[in-house]
Structure 1
Amino acid sequence: MKIVPVSLSVCSLVACLALLHGAAAQTGGAPTTTNTPTSPSPQAGTCKDQAAGKKLAGAALTSFMNKCQKDATAACDKAAADRKLAGAAKTSFTKKCTTDAIGS
């Protein structure tokens, strides 16, 4: 099995896709086909940055972060499957991808 190094830009792309999907789910609409980010800048696309931009606190913050983390994990798992990663490579990729999407 060949292990392919993962670049940060791929994880950022996956994070953006997960966040766009999460934003569409929260508004009740279908995911859009445009590439317009929901945040002002591409670098401000993490869950924590979005929560700060929305000025969430308390239960709303907890709910948003849980949903965002689930969406990010699902997107990262799909990206790992698309890359046909398994074992330690999949675990490492998914962990880094999810962490990048959440913005720890």
Structure 2
Amino acid sequence: MKITLLVTLLFGLVLMTTVGAAEKTLTPQQQKMTLCNEQASSKALKGDARKSFMSECLKKDSAKAEEKTLTPQQKKMQACNAEAGQKALKGEDRNKFMSTCLKKNG
């Protein structure tokens, strides 16, 4: 009985230690939120002004991150997709255009 209790307590202790360590690592979104929150606090913003600032701060950072993460192929795909949209292509015509567009220059 005592051994079972001791093993259970040790297992619980190990589990709590790993959970605590995992919680201390902040995700990029949490880091962004912390940074924006500190900036809003330093400016002494309250109410709607704070909400507005936080929204813009988080959007601004995520837009920069999205731009940085696009590969050349993704940029090419966006350009071809936009051109196909301007030409109002649908179905098989769109598929053919996208295939040809993506094969150009590469």
TM tier, shorter chain? 0.3 to 0.5
**More relative contact order in 1 or in 2 (CA 8 Å, sep 6+)?**
1
User: Higher helix share goes to which structure?
Assistant: 2
TM-score where L is the length of structure 2: 0.34
TM-score where L is the length of structure 1: 0.35
